[in-house]
Structure 1
Amino acid sequence: MLWKWKAVDQNSNIRKGYWAEEDQSRVVSGLREQHLYPVEITRALFTSVWIRYKTGNRKLFWGRTARKLGTMLEAGIPLLTVLDVIAERETTGLDKNQWKQVSRSLQAGVELHVSLQGIIPSPGHLFATMVKAGERSGTLPTALIDIAGYLEDAYFFEKKFKNALFYPVLLLVASLFIIYTLSLMILPMYENLFRGFETELPLATKIMFNVGCCIPYLTAVIPVLAVTVWLLNKKGHSFIIPGTGKINRTRQLIQFCSVLGRLLDAGLSLQESLLLVKNLFKDHLMQELTTQLIFAVNEGRRMFSVIMTSKLFPPEVAKMLEVAEESGKLSEMLAYMTRMFKKELEERIEQYTKLLEPALVFLMAGLVGFVAIGVLLPIFDISSQIH
């Protein structure tokens, strides 16, 4: 949700801007972290829709933004100058003001990961975590380029997965449309026709007519189901497309290994890195696993002892982590595991789409065949009685 705010800074100057946050209280706390004292906060619904449409995909937007920031910082350009350059390249006054507000916050002593939270669309917790790690360890340019690579990879994965599902989903929508049209227009006409002959209908025909009467009512359930799934996902309950459980789990393993390795490379301790990684996941199984890892590390035990008993990771991963922890090359091993899981993910997506397309084709063929049998059987019975 987007909020329009007006606040007073330490010099009694009026500042205005926009802030993306779920709750108004978080906007207030975020402004106070930037040494701004809110005077007025209101919702900005239409501005939010326009900004999201203009910026497109959030991951791609922040991936490209992080790469710009990291590249210019690596070239030795001061951070405030980098922000001025980005602000000047923006085409709208709203975007220019957002980046100028970030620059003013930095000049007031606010850290970059806090200042960026006021940018629309919001960079998210992962971005803020990586930037915070880079600031604390003095490796901000490297951290920005790392997070740029991660976000761009995540965007292209989502795009590839959506493209792979486009044709199967199109077939599914076509099937639902055909079913709805048959139940609403075609089947009632045949039902009235057959019942006019006052003959006993075959079992397949009775089933077809009874199911056809219920389908128009069942279609009203689909929007309710979609809203329910959206609310459950928003509250952290994992819901996935049937058959994509392993794909979703492999994707989570990629995120775990990639982010943890990048945080360790940024100079954070293992305990700090695990605490930050825990907040990235909504899935309760991944949160539980990360909590167990945090307890184990705090007690002086190795990560592999927890991974060994977990069903989320393949068995060989525990052995790989054991070797990496003993040799002190945990971040390198996590990077290798990330590449390994990415290859596995690509294979799973390809296999899933290869199985899904013919399955939907057979489903449509079975549907058409069942309707044809249900319609033709009583026609044959009636014609035999006439003869």
Structure 2
Amino acid sequence: MAEFYYQGRDNEGTSVDGVLNGDSRSTVLAQLRRQNVIATRVELATSQQKNGTMTLAKLWQRWLKLFQPTTVSIDELIMFSRQMYALARSGIPIIRAISGLADATRSPVLAFVLRDITRNLTQGTTMSNAFRAHPAVFGELFVSMIRMGETTGRIDTAFKQLIDHLELEKDTRKKIVAATRYPMIVTIFITLALFIINIFVVPQFANIFSKLGADLPAPTLLLIATSDFMIAYWWAILIVMAGSIVGFMRWKKTPAGHLTWDRIVLKVPILGGIFERMALGRFARPFAMMLEAGVPLLQALSVTARTVGNVHIGKGIDGMQNGIERGESLFVTASQSGMFNPLILQMIAVGEETGNVSDLLVDIADFYDQEVDYDLKRLAESIEPLLLMFMGGMVLVLALGVFLPMWELGSAVS
């Protein structure tokens, strides 16, 4: 039995390498396939590779891995969906279409995923299960729509609906970034200015005031004490800030922490209402899309509960499933959830009475999208007074701390 050195990529598209024991190269390839690794290089291991000695090239390769993307952007998903829609509509076989797109895409992660999907399809796996094997790239909604396309024989229609959904999601994200850019920039620069003033400017004034020997007012003493603390314990401040961020991120990844945080976000002034309407819009449109595609009601609720982007609201949607399983109508369960306003509930009731629930849900999604669009346009205007008050307070403290001793000195001299 010999030792073979291999290089390849795992399920997430990350480069991997190592040494395996095997009777032959084909045996090692079989081991790697069982480990879900697609090998790009397999050869007899050298002594350097066996010992794990790091060459300069290998160190550089591992350094680059830290900066390699591990996910697929929404733009790449939209482009892939558009290409699949065109190819499926033209009647090109699915395996051939996905294989061709794997060679054409510029994303290494998407290329790896598509090659793995092609391999699974050639082995007889259904298309939905092949996509479901990569949840980091294709979400539950994506997989469910492909499954319905398989069932109805309309894969092209499924990808067309996915294109519409992804483009709306992209547009919403752009609006959020545009609306929060100004407040974020102002907040960052205010924080930087505060640190610079406390570290470099205030100590100079403190030296001048100490030479005068006069009693300093309370704002000046507070300013000097804050500056001295920041200069003496700046390393502790950085450690506490870094630890708080890491601790918060880990807590947020826990189920209880994620649920609690999403509940808190909905109660934040100004932003909470926007996040709530965005989540409900993400529920209404995909829910209508899946009902129109023929997905059973309970399955559609289960899928959309995991795609709204808020665990608290998703839990409320999951609760609607229990009511429907008891035989209650969608209107009754939506009323009991407490998530929808009376106008939306009335639209749901009309949709059930007329048998056009999916059409009414699209109208509900449009209503929420318009509300979110209006709120995002006014977001900067709503936050600007708060930023001005914060900046004014900082300037007032600095002005009182610096100029009050000068005024008192001037009065004493006169």
The bucket for the TM-score relative to the shorter chain is: 0.7 to 0.9
* Cα separation, 2, equivalents of 1:175 and 1:265: 50
The farther-off stretch of 347-356 and 137-146 is: 137-146
2:10/2:38 contact within 8 Å kept: no
* Cα separation, 2, equivalents of 1:361 and 1:136: 57
The 5 Å alignment of 1:136-215 reads: 136-214=151-229
2:183/2:383 contact within 8 Å kept: yes
* Cα separation, 1, equivalents of 2:247 and 2:269: 16
Residue segments in structure 2 that go unaligned for 5+ positions in a row: 1-5, 15-32, 40-61
1:50 aligns with: 68
Residue segments in structure 1 that go unaligned for 5+ positions in a row: 1-13, 23-35
1:39-70: CA deviations, max 9, x gaps? 7699x895474244xx8x62221122112112
1:105 aligns with: 120
* Cα separation, 1, equivalents of 2:165 and 2:88: 19
1:371 aligns with: 398
Match of 2:96 among 81, 88, 91: 81
2:18 aligns with: none
* Cα separation, 2, equivalents of 1:365 and 1:120: 48
1:162-206: CA deviations, max 9, x gaps? 122212211111100111011112112222322333322112222
* Cα separation, 1, equivalents of 2:364 and 2:301: 17
- How far does residue 359 in structure 1 lie from its aligned partner after superposition? 2.9
1:289 aligns with: 316
- Cα RMSD between the aligned structures? 3.1
* Cα separation, 1, equivalents of 2:63 and 2:131: 21
Larger Rg: 2
The 5 Å alignment of 1:295-310 reads: 295-310=322-337
Match of 1:354 among 368, 375, 381: 381
- How far does residue 158 in structure 1 lie from its aligned partner after superposition? 1.1
Q: Which has the higher contact order (CA 8 A, sep 6+)?
A: 1
User: What TM-score results when the alignment is normalised by the length of structure 2?
Assistant: 0.76
Distance 1:100 1:288, change over 3 A: closer
2:270/2:382 contact within 8 Å kept: no
Task: Look up the equivalent residue of 1:136 and give its one-letter code.
Answer: T
Secondary structure in structure 1 of the residue aligned to 2:35: strand
2:149/2:155 contact within 8 Å kept: yes
2:58 aligns with: none
Match of 2:249 among 230, 238, 259: 230
Aligned positions, number: 357
Distance 1:294 1:145, change over 3 A: same
User: What TM-score results when the alignment is normalised by the length of structure 1?
Assistant: 0.81
* Cα separation, 1, equivalents of 2:379 and 2:113: 43
- How far does residue 21 in structure 1 lie from its aligned partner after superposition? 9.7
Distance 1:348 1:221, change over 3 A: farther
Secondary structure in structure 1 of the residue aligned to 2:212: coil
Secondary structure in structure 2 of the residue aligned to 1:109: coil
* Cα separation, 1, equivalents of 2:287 and 2:185: 38
Matched, 1:64 2:61: no
* Cα separation, 1, equivalents of 2:81 and 2:108: 21
* Cα separation, 1, equivalents of 2:339 and 2:145: 25
* Cα separation, 2, equivalents of 1:147 and 1:159: 18
Distance 1:213 1:244, change over 3 A: farther
1:108-156: CA deviations, max 9, x gaps? 1112233235669622333223222322333322121211221222122
1:257 aligns with: 284
